[in-house]
């Protein structure tokens, strides 16, 4: 399935899959990243075999987005980004949001048991 379709039509399921993966992993890493002037906390699921990545990112001012990156048939890296709605942000586990906010505020990544992010 094309990433654009996945993001546009199945965003809630994509987010749920990423959260399920993250909360079931031990340990999980939430990293701090800086893209030009934009800083964010990032949690990423990599599919090395398919060369795909799926990320949930928190930017300052509580702006969340989902980022999907993949290689197309011409071996060019394609990125698709979709902002989360207020309802989608509200559905994220409170502990995950708290830890991601700490990463952005402290400008430092963290590794912890994924089970601590549930709820």
Does a structural domain hold residue 59?
A: yes
Does a structural domain hold residue 34?
A: yes
Backbone angles phi, psi at 57, to 5 degrees: -125, 140
Does a structural domain hold residue 90?
A: yes
**Would you call 91 helix, strand, or coil by DSSP?**
helix
Q: In terms of pLDDT, which residue wins out, 4 or 38?
A: 38
Does a structural domain hold residue 13?
A: yes
Does a structural domain hold residue 72?
A: yes
Q: Rounded to two decimals, what is the model's pTM?
A: 0.84
Does a structural domain hold residue 117?
A: no
- Domain of 89? 3-103
CA 75 to chain centre: 23
Q: Which of 24-28, 45-49, 77-81 has the highest mean pLDDT?
A: 77-81
Residues 80-102: tens digit of each pLDDT: 899 999 999 999 999 999 999 99
Does a structural domain hold residue 110?
A: no
| Separation between Cα atoms, residue 28 and residue 48, nearest integer Å | 17
What is the CATH classification number for the domain harbouring 20? 3.10.450
């Amino acid at each position: 399935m094309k990433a654009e379709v996945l993001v546009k039509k199945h965003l809630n399921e994509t987010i749920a899959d990423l959260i399920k993966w993250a909360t079931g992993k031990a340990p999980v890493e939430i990293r701090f990243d800086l893209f030009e002037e934009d800083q964010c906390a990032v949690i990423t699921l990599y599919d090395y075999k398919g060369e795909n990545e799926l990320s949930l990112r928190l930017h300052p001012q509580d702006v969340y987005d989902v980022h999907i990156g993949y290689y197309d048939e011409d071996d060019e890296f394609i990125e698709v980004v979709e902002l989360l709605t207020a309802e989608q942000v509200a559905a994220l586990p409170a502990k995950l949001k708290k830890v991601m906010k700490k990463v952005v505020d402290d400008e430092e990544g963290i590794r912890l048991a994924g089970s601590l992010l549930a709820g």
